[in-house]
Every structure is written in C-alpha cells, then in structure tokens.
C-alpha cells in the first residue's frame, strides 16, 4: 500500500468531517461566510422577545409592529402560555426552557435543517470547535427528508467505522435521549464529548428488525490540511497526488506549494483528492479553484434573497496546474467548498470528476449571537456552479463513477484512487501516441 493511502486511512484525513460535523463547525460541513459577506447581508438577525415575570406570566409586550399591535399569532402564543401556566398538571418547565422551545419551533417552521437555534451552552462548544479543539466519532451526518439523523460517511480508521456504523444508518437516540425535534446542530453537539469518553447511539438500519445500540469511544482528531505524494504510474509516467482535508485559511497556498514540489519531482498529471472534505472558507474555495483554472474564469455564483447574484472569479497568483491532466476525487462526504471547486472544474471542462455523488451542501449560513449567548444560524444565500447548476440538495455528479465499499474501508483499500491513477495513465499514454 502506498504512503499516501496509508496516511489517509490511518489519520482519516476526512475525519475532520466528523470533527467538524460532530463538533459543530460546518457542521455536515458548514461554510464560513464572514470573509465575503456584505454589510447588507451581515445585518442583525436578532429579534426582541417579550419579558417574563418570575411566575412565567407575560409582563411586557414585544416591540410593536408598524401598526402598533402584536401580530395575532403572538396573541395566541401568549394565550397558550398563560393557559399552560395555570392548568398544567405536573412540573412546569423553566421560563428559559419554554422560551428556547418556542424559538426552536419557530426556526423549525422554516423547513431548513441548516437554519437553526443553538442554546448558549452548545453555542460555546461550537465556538471552541471553530478555534480548533475537536473531539468526535468520525462520521459525516445529515438530516434526511423525514428529519432523522443519517450517517452519510463513516471515515477511515475512525471510531465510528471501528464501532460498525455504516452509510444509511439512522441515529434515533444518543445516550438514550431521543433526537426527535432536535435540529442538526443540536444532535451532533449531543454526540460530541471529551476524548476517551463513550457515547451510545441507538441506530436503525435497513434490513434489521429492531433498532440496536452502538457504543463508540470518542477520539481527538488531528490531521494535516494538505497531504501529497508522487506516484509512479504503470506506464512510466509520474502522477502528483494532493489531498486537501479542509478549506481553512491558507489552504490554497499549501496546495500551490505541494503541487510545485511535485512538478519539480517530475509530475506531469495530477490527482486532487477532496473526498470527505466538509468545506470551510468561501475565499479559500475560490483560491483553490484558481490553482487549476485561468484568472478571470467564473468559479461560483452566489444567489441572494430576492434573486440577486454575485459572481466570484479565479484570482491571479495561484495558477500552479492550469494545463496538466487533472482528476478530482469526490465522495458523499465532499461538501460545501469542496463542491464549489468540483463544480467549477466540471463546468469549465478543466478536469475529470471521479468518485461518488457529493453531499449537496450549497447554502450559505450567517451565524448571529443573541444577547444571552445563544446563536442563530440563518441561511441567507445559495451557491451555484459557473453554469448556474444548483449544488444544494443536488450535489456534484462525477463524470466517472468509482466505487469504494464498506469492505474496502475495513480492509484499507482505496479503489477510487487506483481508478484515478489508471485513468490518468491511460490519458497520458493516448496523448503520447497521437
């Protein structure tokens, strides 16, 4: 087994997907937007709530609307609040718990799993994760159409894979706590915890008669942002291999440097591996794309509320591999910024996309901290490929499909990378014979 494959399997470079998704930073890959947001897009998302008395009774109205009155729906809300307060037989939840429950219900009514409310405790954890402290189980997750937490991609050598989680598994409980009514961020933050601690997931799997428990020991994720290797092709040529695990600050500079070193060593074609890369900074997605395409080419379109669009073009000073044959590897864990790059390469006919259908995360979230430390993450835009194709909910379809089974992961095989080597070797041989 070659060095890069061993590193990929041992470190689970894509394990960051879980460290981010399970630790709340993309989370299934969430792309940070602040670096490219306009003042109008960054406008405050906060809304004042009515004040509550010590008994939970309504004491002051929320700010009046244009007509000076509360919307009828809020009158009904407070009517229900008062009635529950007076008549509920049992322990009444705290004012804060009820307020948070009301906000969650309002946010959930928008029908977007990426627009979410996060309470102060979980928001603080998410903030720590963004700063680089990661601990999780090592799996890409998402909410399916029924609102259930689905395992998309257990990463190589990850705690999730070792425990037996598979793509398509549905998590219905975490440590015996049902996930009903939780948003994506709350569910994944419930799964994360200190390295070495154990979390028990109750899982439903198609083909099994009953749900079953899976115990997983959480682990700290440490990985290199860029990994590279020179591959000796069967036909005598040399193929460069570069893997990018996240679109963090400086990612394009690292990719450019890695490709430059490989070219000096004789690489004449390139494999760019974005498998299980959950995304990151929009600015780095544009810069990384610029490594492979000419300056001025359209990389991504951003469609804002109201239908307005912004176009992001390839920048100068990054072009390290504009001409050489290129294969970009993607899989179901390639999300967000990864899909921006793959979509641009595909639409511009710059290279061949190989692997499996990508995740389909093409919406833009703007985080906003509320006055008590809780957080709203609100979808404010979506990304389209240069040709206007939708990424969100669709993903990027590979030009050439290449399989990687659960058994391949267990046996530490990488048939997708082997297929890319074979494809480039054949392409190079055909060019030589012309």
pLDDT tens readout for residues 7-56: 443 333 333 333 333 333 333 333 333 334 433 333 322 222 333 333 33
Give residue-wise pLDDT tens across range 287-336: 999 999 999 999 999 999 888 999 999 999 888 899 999 999 999 989 99
Hey, what CATH topology would domain 3-11+223-363+381-433 get?
2-enoyl-CoA Hydratase; Chain A, domain 1 (3.90.226)
Residue 238 has pLDDT above 60, yes or no: yes
pLDDT of residue 289: 97
pTM for the complete prediction? 0.74
pLDDT tens for each residue of 131-178: 444 688 988 888 887 889 999 888 777 899 899 999 899 999 999 999
Q: What percent of the chain has pLDDT over 70?
A: 79
Alpha-carbon distance of 181 to 37, in angstroms, equals: 31
Residue 197 falls in the annotated catalytic set: no
The pLDDT tens digits for 68-114 are: 555 666 888 899 999 999 999 999 999 999 999 999 999 989 988 88
Beta bridge partners of 220: 135
The distance in angstroms from the start CA to the end CA of the chain is: 33
Mean pLDDT for the chain?
81
Quick one: what percent of the chain has pLDDT higher than 90?
54
Q: Which secondary structure element, helix H or strand E, spans residue 200, and what is its range?
A: strand 198-204
Residue ranges of domains in the chain? 3-11+223-363+381-433
Q: What is the pLDDT of residue 244?
A: 94
Given the residues 169, 219, 361, 363, select the one marked as catalytic: 361
What is the C-alpha to C-alpha distance for residues 35 and 318, in angstroms, rounded to an integer?
Answer: 19
pLDDT of residue 376: 94
- Average pLDDT on 382-410 reads 93
State the average pLDDT over residues 251-275: 95
70/211: higher pLDDT: 211
- Residue 112: both structure tokens together: 């977007």
Q: Would you place residue 412 in the very low, low, confident or very high pLDDT band (cuts 50, 70, 90)?
A: confident
pLDDT by residue (tens digit) across 329-357?
999 989 999 999 999 999 999 999 999 99
8 A C-beta contact, residue 205 and residue 166? yes
Q: How far apart are CA 184 and CA 142, in angstroms?
A: 7
- Looking at residue 326, the DSSP 8-state letter turns out to be E
Other C-beta atoms closer than 10 Å to the C-beta of 410 total 12
282-289 average pLDDT score: 94
Is 361 catalytic? The answer is: yes
Distance of alpha carbon 364 from alpha carbon 310, whole angstroms: 13
Given a cut of 80, whether residue 191 has pLDDT beyond it is yes
Is pLDDT at 181 greater than 70 in this prediction? yes
**Interstrand relation of 326-330 and 269-273 (parallel, antiparallel or unpaired):** parallel
Per the document, the length of the chain is 434
Given 153, 157, 169, 347, the catalytic residue: 347
DSSP of 9-31? IIIITTHHHHHHHTTTSSSTTPP
Active site residue 347: yes
Which member of 290, 336, 363, 374 is catalytic? 336
* pLDDT attached to residue 40: 35
When pLDDT is averaged across residues 368-379 and rounded to a whole number, the result is 93
DSSP reduced 3-state for 150? strand
């Amino acid at each position: 087994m070659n060095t890069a494959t061993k590193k990929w399997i041992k470190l689970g470079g894509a394990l960051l997907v879980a460290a981010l998704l399970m630790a709340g930073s993309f989370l299934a890959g969430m792309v940070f937007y602040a670096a490219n947001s306009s003042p109008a897009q960054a406008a405050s998302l906060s809304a004042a709530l009515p004040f509550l008395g010590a008994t939970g009774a309504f004491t002051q109205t929320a700010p009046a609307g244009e007509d000076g009155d509360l919307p009828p729906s809020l009158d009904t809300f407070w009517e229900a609040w008062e009635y529950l307060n007076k008549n509920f037989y049992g322990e009444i939840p705290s004012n804060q718990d009820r307020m948070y429950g009301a906000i969650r219900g309002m946010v959930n009514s928008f029908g977007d799993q990426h627009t979410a409310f996060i309470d102060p405790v979980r928001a603080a954890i998410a903030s720590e994760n963004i700063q680089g402290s990661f601990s999780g189980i090592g799996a890409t997750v998402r909410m399916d159409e029924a609102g259930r937490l689905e395992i998309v991609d257990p990463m190589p050598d990850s705690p999730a894979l070792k425990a037996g989680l598979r793509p398509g598994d549905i998590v219905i409980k975490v440590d015996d706590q049902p996930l009903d009514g939780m948003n994506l961020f709350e569910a994944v933050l419930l799964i994360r915890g200190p390295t070495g601690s154990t979390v028990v997931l109750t899982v439903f799997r198609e083909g099994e008669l009953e749900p079953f428990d899976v115990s997983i020991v959480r682990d700290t994720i440490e990985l290199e942002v860029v990994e590279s290797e020179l591959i000796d092709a069967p036909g005598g040529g040399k193929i460069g291999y570069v893997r990018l695990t996240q679109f963090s600050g400086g990612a394009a500079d690292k990719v450019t440097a890695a490709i430059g070193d490989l070219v000096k060593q004789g690489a004449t074609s390139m494999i760019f591996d974005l498998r299980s890369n959950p995304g990151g900074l929009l600015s780095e997605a544009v810069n990384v794309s610029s490594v492979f395409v000419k300056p001025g080419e359209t990389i991504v379109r951003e469609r804002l509320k109201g239908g307005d669009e912004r176009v992001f073009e390839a920048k100068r000073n990054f072009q390290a591999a504009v001409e050489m044959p290129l294969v970009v590897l993607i899989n179901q864990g390639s999300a967000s910024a990864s899909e921006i790059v793959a979509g641009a390469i595909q639409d511009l006919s710059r290279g061949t996309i190989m692997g499996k259908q990508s995740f389909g995360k093409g919406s833009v979230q703007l985080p906003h901290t509320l006055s008590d430390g809780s957080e709203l993450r609100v979808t404010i835009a979506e990304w389209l490929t240069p040709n206007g194709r939708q990424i969100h909910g669709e993903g990027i379809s590979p030009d050439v499909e290449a399989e990687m089974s659960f058994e391949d992961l267990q046996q530490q095989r990488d048939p997708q990378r082997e297929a890319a080597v074979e494809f480039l070797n054949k392409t190079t041989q055909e060019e030589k014979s012309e």
